[in-house]
Structure 1
Amino acid sequence: MEGKISVEIKENIATVSFYNPASNSFPSSQLQLLTDTLYDLNKNKSVVLIILKSEGEGAFCAGASFDELLQVTNLEEGNRFFSGFANVINAMRKSNKLIVGRIHGKAVGGGVGIMAACDYTFATEKVAVKLSELAIGIGPFVIEPAVSKKIGKAAMAEMTLAATEWKSSQWAFDKGLISKLFHTTEEMDNNLSSFSKQLASFNPEALYEMKKVIWEGTEDWDHLLYERAAISGRLVLSEFTRNALNEFKKS
């Protein structure tokens, strides 16, 4: 089933929500829609801040759509699919608005990449994170630059090599993937509301200049992320990955 992207603008804050019935995973069409939405918001001068969230009470984001991955039959299709996550991460870093993530549940693979590409994140103790790509024969190549930028190469490697291991919300907070951690969703939302209103009241020009500072040194991502997408696009065609994906679907 196709997912959806919705935008609600209240005063000078845009809340961008994504939803997919398959644990908020992303098919390529929805990745493109999120990318387009973020670029469209760049043109809205009345918006100062973006809150990025997913809907429901289950997973925050289960990453790539396994159903669509199984449909990839050639290098071009594989490259195009993984470029979807590259497009989203580049749209987030190039946004002229600061992006605050609201993380309410588990995040896997590309979902961790989206968390890492947020400029600031609020989360609950129900959050757990995992980079499971090696277990299915690929790797978190596209999202690695964003994850490593946020938590460092050592922590990224720890997540990647322990591909079947969930990392706790406390681990993610200690490593810097989560900025603010709360016991309950209600507590998180109350604090997110207060923080966002205060941040959006600051000088928009100063916020934009700060955004540029946060993302200094990432200019090569316009090429790097697509080179990484090509690696994943090749590996997803391997017999190992096809078998692993099919076994995962059976479980």
Structure 2
Amino acid sequence: MNFQNIITELESNILKITINRPTKLNALNKQTLEELHIAILDAQDNKEVGGIILTGSGEKAFVAGADISEFSNYSVDEGRKLAFNGQDDVFDMIANSEKPVLAAINGFALGGGLELALACHIRIASENAKLGFPEVTLGLIPGYGGTQRLTQLIGKGRAMEMILTANMIDANEAFNYGLLNKVTTAEELMPTCLKMMETIISRSPTAISAAIRAINAGFNAANDGFMVEIEEFGKCFGTEDFKEGVNAFLEKRKPVFLRK
């Protein structure tokens, strides 16, 4: 499919999705969200895709928020629908992706951009990254899961501070908070992300998906995370990946997992 606002590149089983609106600092508008939905959805059924890296074009911004001009005159119902659709179609889809999703954060990750990064399973940022939630300066709050995912990741006190003050933090502070997995130079950002994703997709794809489901279950009040883990663990014993992994271990060789 020909996208207008994102660029997709598939190489060595890694799908790189670049949000490409540099004149708008890659701000999220309706079309961009729709394209992200399609790209992430298609990746789930593509056997060639082992993992996904999300990033923004240029060096200034990952995603510097949502495109405010699109919803400046929204009503209460329209605002609720905006948040619901965004969560359902994009942010929750990323968080629950069967394929691992890594955010390569270059520059600003603000508002909806930070929420996009939070929905990813892993976050790596360049040392010039700035992260924050400016919504309360607009009379809003984060609406794409930011109040929940940030709190789950860094704790209530720090999440309250970031959201209520609307102050940005730099990459090193974000790393110390536990918001980021790694911080690199701008030049090493993508190589570092690719190296980590290459490691991940060399592992069992069925086990990777099971691990994502089990970890996510612990953050859903409707689930017993321990029971989900037990069920997912048990299911692993019936997979070809388990047979291959065990045989490779006993034969003292590297396992060769097939993409389903």
Name the TM-score class by shorter chain. Answer: 0.7 to 0.9
8 Å CA contact retained: 1:64, 1:109: yes
The count of corresponding residues between Structure 1 and Structure 2 is: 217
Q: Residue type of the partner of 2:16?
A: T
Quote the sequence identity (%): 28
Q: Please tell me whether residue 17 in structure 1 is matched to residue 18 in structure 2.
A: yes
**Aligned to 2:63, what secondary structure does the other structure show?**
coil
2:188 aligned residue: 187
Q: What is the correspondence of 1:143-154 to structure 2 with a 5 Å cutoff?
A: 143=145, 144-154=147-157
2:118 aligned residue: 116
Deviation at 1:64, TM superposition (A): 1.2
Q: Please tell me whether residue 161 in structure 1 is matched to residue 161 in structure 2.
A: no
Q: For 1:28, which of 27, 30, 37 is the aligned residue?
A: 30
8 Å CA contact retained: 1:133, 1:139: yes
Provide the alpha-carbon RMSD of the alignment.
1.9
2:60 aligned residue: 58
Partners of 1:25 and 1:191 lie apart in 2 by: 24
- Point out the structure with max Rg over C-alpha: 2
**Aligned to 1:95, what secondary structure does the other structure show?**
coil
8 Å CA contact retained: 1:108, 1:131: yes
8 Å CA contact retained: 1:3, 1:26: no
8 Å CA contact retained: 1:64, 1:110: yes
2:217 aligned residue: 216
Kindly tell me: are residues 37 and 167 of structure 1, through their superposed partners in 2, closer, same or farther at Cα, counting changes over 3 Å? same
8 Å CA contact retained: 1:92, 1:99: yes
**Aligned to 1:185, what secondary structure does the other structure show?**
coil
Residue ranges of structure 1 left out of the alignment (5+ in a row): 222-251
Stretches of 4+ aligned residues off by more than 4 angstroms: 218-221
**Aligned to 2:102, what secondary structure does the other structure show?**
strand
Residue ranges of structure 2 left out of the alignment (5+ in a row): 223-260
Deviation at 1:9, TM superposition (A): 1.1
**Aligned to 1:51, what secondary structure does the other structure show?**
strand
Partners of 1:85 and 1:217 lie apart in 2 by: 23
2:208 aligned residue: 207
Q: What is the correspondence of 1:61-76 to structure 2 with a 5 Å cutoff?
A: 61-72=63-74, 74-76=75-77
Partners of 2:40 and 2:57 lie apart in 1 by: 17
8 Å CA contact retained: 2:106, 2:128: yes
8 Å CA contact retained: 1:7, 1:16: yes
Deviation at 1:219, TM superposition (A): 4.7
Partners of 1:3 and 1:137 lie apart in 2 by: 31
2:81 aligned residue: 80
- Range with greater deviation from structure 2 (95-104 or 55-64): 55-64
**Aligned to 1:60, what secondary structure does the other structure show?**
strand
Kindly tell me: are residues 66 and 3 of structure 1, through their superposed partners in 2, closer, same or farther at Cα, counting changes over 3 Å? farther
Partners of 2:155 and 2:143 lie apart in 1 by: 15
Q: TM-score, normalised by structure 2?
A: 0.77
Partners of 1:94 and 1:166 lie apart in 2 by: 27
**Aligned to 2:61, what secondary structure does the other structure show?**
coil
**Aligned to 1:61, what secondary structure does the other structure show?**
strand
8 Å CA contact retained: 1:28, 1:81: no
Deviation at 1:100, TM superposition (A): 0.9
